[in-house]
Structure 1
Amino acid sequence: MPGLAPVATVSRLLSFQGRYGLELSEWLPMSTTDSIILAGPAVERIKPVEVELRPGRRRAIVTTVLVGGDLFFSGIAGVVPWLLTGWPPLTDWLGPSTPVPIPPVGVVLILAVFGLYSSYGPSPPERLRLRVLGVCIYAISCLLVVSAQGPSARGVAEIAVVSALLVVIGFYGESALRSALIRWRLWGALTVIVGTDTAGRSLADTLLAQPELGFRPVGFLAERGQEPVRIEGLPILGMIDEMPAVPVEVLLFSSCATLALYDGKGAGGAPAPRTVLAQQIHELQNMWVQVQPLGSAIGLEIRRELYRPRNLALKRVIDCTFAGLGLIVAIPVIAILAVTIRSLDPGSPFYVQIRVGRHGRPIRVLKLRTMYSDAERRLHAHLESCPAAREEWQRFFKLSADPRILPKVGHFIRRTSLDELPQLWNVLCGDMSLVGPRPFPAYHMDGFDPDFRALRTSVPPGLTGLWQISSRSDGDLHVQRSQDTYYIRNWSPWLDLYILMGTVSAVLGAKGAR
């Protein structure tokens, strides 16, 4: 397999595991789930970390914030049903006939067992999966207690409402707290990168740009003879066989070769409680990959979940269910916007654009019109008169100052993505999915190479995707390619759920929209 060490290096790697406690399940490919989902040119690089608190104290603060946040959010989830029904909270909470026999704050204990309160850990989609599983355990426990006391339809309904709120409020609440902890320079484990080669520098660049990954670089360990310079703003703390003089929680090796080299130097024990190997493996998934021991070798089990018929069937059932419900809710909004558009510019408030669908076949995508009826003429004239706009168009196929857009309402509809609402009908018809690579016009697809076009059209296009919750209009063709490839390689229902919930935040915040 390209990028993996030969058998001799792997044998030494296994020997290193016994000496230093290396966890093979912690292989961190260079492009992780977080780096794709959260990456984008709009993300501001953080400054190299300056150690301000001892690791133990910092971890205690992070745990306290996360636990306190979930206690607060679960309290809200428990109170909302009472507010909606008018039940007195204290009486029902303490009374013997309460429909929710276990206080919602009990879910915090379950999430603690799942490891969601550490200063770094699972990727956001995996954290969402663990949160949903934890809430399911809580809900099942409540149902068992209620069934033992006698069937209660109201009790089952309340348990369902509270459980749903625990997931939704907890997810968005945790995201907000994590952002605050990053701003306070508390999130992430203090990390030393072993290796100053191209892979090590690329890894440092990713970690500095993406603090959400949970690794806070403090410097490098280099080979003997390495000039003591700063790389990506980080200092070289010592040689590869030396103990760093700063507190370290994670040793992050940039490749199998540097790991074997470190082992060969015979350093006197690992200077960090956890060791992670970052192995760059191009064009392979890295989100749900599983490590299999194969004697003296390491096997990586990889499944292409999005191409399995049963998963496509599951995805289709979810699409029809949520698109149907969403369309019922969206019809009044679509009607109001259609009337507004018609009053500003004559002509139909809707338009149909031919885009490239699955297997390369053309599909008719519905949208609310946000441009003038003579938009193409306006665009051509603007590009001819403005070279900077022409260059921007060739790179993004979008313009920051687009002369085609209707005044006021056009920008509002595009910023909030309300022009995409009619595409719920495309989802119901089977032309699109709720989540997937966005269907692009043919001229946009021509900007990609043939191999990527074939990969992109091998799955159903989506109403939303990774691009929508990260870069959106700020991402060029390279960003779109990396995010679409990652989604296709790493699909799971949990990743779809994460993207759907992240889309709400992106739309409400008008992130990257134009």
Structure 2
Amino acid sequence: MRHISAIPMTLGATAKRIEKSHLPAHGHYAPTGVRRRRIVTAALAFGDLATAIGSAQLATLFVDSVHASPLGGGAVPILAPLLLVVHWCLGLYAGRGPSPIERLRLRALGILAFTTSAYILAAPTVALGRLVLFLACTSLMMLVLGYYIEAIVRRILVRHGLWGAPTALISCNEASQDLAKMLIARPELGLRPVCFVDDLVDRGEGMGRLPIPILGSLTEAAWLAANVEVAILVAPSQSTSIDVTHIACLPFANVVLAQDARDMQSLWLHPRTLGGSLGLEIRRDLHLPRNLWLKRLIDLMIAVPVGLASLPLIATLAAAIKIVDPGPAVYAQSRVGRNGQPLRVFKLRTMYTDAEQRLKDHLSSDPLARTEWERYFKLSNDPRILPLFGKVLRRASLDELPQLWNVIRGEMSIVGPRPFPSYHMERFDQNFQRLRTSVAQGLTGLWQVSSRSNGDLEVQKAQDLFYIRNWSIWLDLYIILETLPALLSARGAK
């Protein structure tokens, strides 16, 4: 692997510089430093406080204790500051990383500390069964409601330029510009690019892609120290590593080394010191038996009650389908399942009974539709779909409800790569097909909550790879929580 020096230390006699007047004014992007952190901390802490009190009140109603909480009237206000302190210690109020998936895990740890303290406080005076039920309900609601409330607060902070640490990208090569573009598109990651630092690039070069200034060198240390909280060193390619010998000279408290490693796991890595070398421990969590049992348990805990509750809705929809278009309301469609075995998935019919012939005729007569089909395997205006009624079911994914039976039978999981038809799978390379079918196919997945029909084959492949390589219970829970907003917004539905 080739090494580079990614840190422009001086300008040199002939290097190009940016005049001081070209530097962004202090606070131009958003309030920085202490003021920004105080606003972010106050907003997030208020959201957590409201979540804790609201969850406790809802749990009280659930256990049928209307007049007094099982913990006593003053217990929640007493313990709420503990929750805020724990979340602050876990870094949840910093206004920047970690990612939403990691934040979900940290939030669960904070709630565990909260409920443990509540148990110790209330155990001497409250009946054990009543207390356990109350704490279980409170914890679940705090986790779910807290996730959504934090997402709303984060969106507001992003809109006002308060979320995300002001970040400098050292060097202005193509890789760093791609990274900056991604960070701008995904503000929830908590790193907000405010400048590039590169002594080999003129300020006017490369500005067509991103409206981010390029500073001449690190000699602008005064502005950088006042406006930047994080620096990212970016290797320009996978075959090039970063020379980190000058990191100590950087005027930043937080430095991130970024290497393009999209072909390996990126979540849940554990650094290990191996003598004088740095090692990264990678765990294949989706292949550990205990994790598979836990995943199966969660599948049943969700699929059984939701399946039973949805039976009246499924029956009503099935009757409506038969009225709109006579024929079977529920059918089994052949897909590629685990280990490449055929999988019959159950669906409510949203298409005409002669759907395949309609598709064939449409693609043969419309070149634009054929191009769209070959790229997405979906059509914006699909002639097979039942008018109005079929589109509504598909946009809300209600046609997938019978697949809860596939989950109960152990043929599918709640979360996983979606089962594709064989003609869809054949478009991927053999290695990816083997990897994709090595895990249980899912009712929902990362592709469904992020891109859905808006993502082409490459996007589908990238997101499925990310899920398989980075799987954890927290990633599954994140996808489950994101599924509801995706369904309500019909994000990418066709």
Instruction: Say yes or no: TM over 0.5.
Output: yes
1:28-427 alignment, distance < 5 Å: 50-83=28-61, 85=64, 87-88=66-67, 93-94=72-73, 103-104=79-80, 106-149=82-125, 151-224=127-200, 228-231=204-207, 232-233=209-210, 234-239=212-217, 242-243=220-221, 245-246=223-224, 247-255=227-235, 259-260=242-243, 263=246, 269-427=249-407
In 1, Cα distance between equivalents of 2:91 and 2:69: 31
C-alpha deviation, 1:202, in angstroms:
1.9
Q: What do residues 312-361 of structure 1 show as CA deviations (whole Å, max 9, x unaligned)?
A: 22222222232122211111111111011111000010121110011111
- The letter of the residue matching 2:133 is A
Give distance in 2, aligned partners of 1:277 and 1:241. 21
State the one-letter code of the partner of 2:281.
E
Q: CA deviation at 1:138?
A: 1.3
| TM-score after normalising by structure 2 | 0.88
1:280 counterpart SS class: coil
The residue number in structure 2 matching 1:43 is none
Please give the secondary structure, in 1, of the residue aligned with 2:427: coil
Cα distance change of structure 1 residues 235 and 161 upon mapping to structure 2, 3 Å threshold: same
CA distance in 1, matches of 2:439, 2:222: 47
SS in 1 for 2:124: helix
Q: How much has 1:111 moved relative to structure 2? A: 1.5
Q: Is the 8 A contact 1:254 1:279 kept in 2?
A: yes
1:461 corresponds to 2:441: yes
The 3 A distance-change label for structure 1 pair 235 and 104 is closer
1:244 Cα deviation from its structure 2 partner: 6.8
Q: Which of 423, 434, 442 is matched with 2:422 structurally? A: 442
Aligned counterparts of 1:185 and 1:455: Cα–Cα separation in 2: 40
Structure 1 Cα separation of the partners of residues 121 and 70 of structure 2:
19
Asked which structure has the greater RCO (Cα within 8 Å, sep 6+), the reply is: 1
For residue 273 of structure 2, what is the amino acid of its counterpart?
P
- AA of the residue aligned to 1:488: I
Stretch moving more, 281-290 or 234-243: 234-243
Tell me how far 1:88 sits from its aligned partner.
3.4
Asked if the contact 2:97/2:191 (under 8 Å) is kept, the reply is no
Question: Is the deviation greater in 72-81 or in 361-370?
Answer: 72-81
Runs of at least 5 residues in structure 2 that lack an aligned partner in the other structure: 8-26
What amino acid maps onto 2:108 in structure 1? V
Q: Deviations over 1:261-281 (max 9, x none)?
A: 7719xx8x4322211111222
Residue 484, structure 1, aligned to residue 469, structure 2: no
Deviation at 1:241, TM superposition (A): 5.9
Residue 415 of structure 1 deviates from its aligned partner by 0.9
Shift in Å at residue 397 of structure 1?
Answer: 0.4
Structure 2 SS opposite 1:71? helix
Q: Is the 8 A contact 1:129 1:494 kept in 2?
A: yes
In the alignment, is the contact (CA less than 8 A) between 1:78 and 1:104 conserved in 2? no
Residues in 2 aligned to 1:279 and 1:50: alpha-carbon distance in whole angstroms: 30
2:178 aligned partner, one-letter code: S
Residue 245 (structure 1) shift? 3.1
Measured at CA, do residues 157 and 102 of structure 1 come closer, stay the same or move farther in structure 2, by a change above 3 Å? Answer: farther
Residue 197 of structure 1 and its aligned partner are, at CA, apart by: 2.2
Q: CA deviation at 1:78?
A: 2.2
Bigger drift between 476-485 and 274-283 goes to 274-283
Q: CA offsets per residue over residues 278-327 of structure 1, 9 Å max, x none? A: 12224110101111112222111111111122222222222223212221
**Which range moved further: 231-240 or 67-76?**
231-240
Deviation per CA, 1:163-202: give whole Å up to 9, x if none. 2211111011111111121122211010110122232122
SS at match of 1:149: coil
Deviates more, 1:471-480 or 1:403-412: 403-412
Select between 184-193 and 135-144 the one with higher mean Cα deviation: 135-144
Alignment TM-score, normalising by the size of structure 1: 0.85
> In structure 1, the residue corresponding to 2:261 is in which secondary structure?
coil
CA contact (8 A) 1:128 1:498 kept: yes
Deviations 1:397-451 (A, max 9, x none): 0011111111222111111111111111111122111111000001111111111
- Aligned partners of 1:195 and 1:258 also within 8 Å: no
Q: Which amino acid aligns with 1:161?
A: C
SS state of the match for residue 216, structure 1? Answer: strand
Conservation of the 8 A alpha-carbon contact between 1:238 and 1:244: no
- The separation in 2 between residues aligned to 1:395 and 1:446, in whole angstroms, is 13
CA contact (8 A) 1:55 1:190 kept: no
Q: 2:397 corresponds to which letter in structure 1?
A: S
From the superposition, tell whether residues 384 and 297 of structure 1 become closer, same or farther in structure 2 (CA, over 3 Å).
same
- Structure 2 distance, partners of 1:509, 1:356, is 28
The 1:327/1:104 distance shift into structure 2, 3 A limit, reads farther
The code of the aligned residue for 2:323 comes to S
SS of the counterpart of 1:148?
coil
Counterparts of 1:387 and 1:219, CA distance in 2:
45
Q: Which amino acid aligns with 1:235?
A: P
Which is worse superposed, 405-414 or 234-243? Answer: 234-243
Which one is further off, 192-201 or 443-452?
Answer: 192-201
| Alpha-carbon offset, residue 208 of structure 1 | 1.8
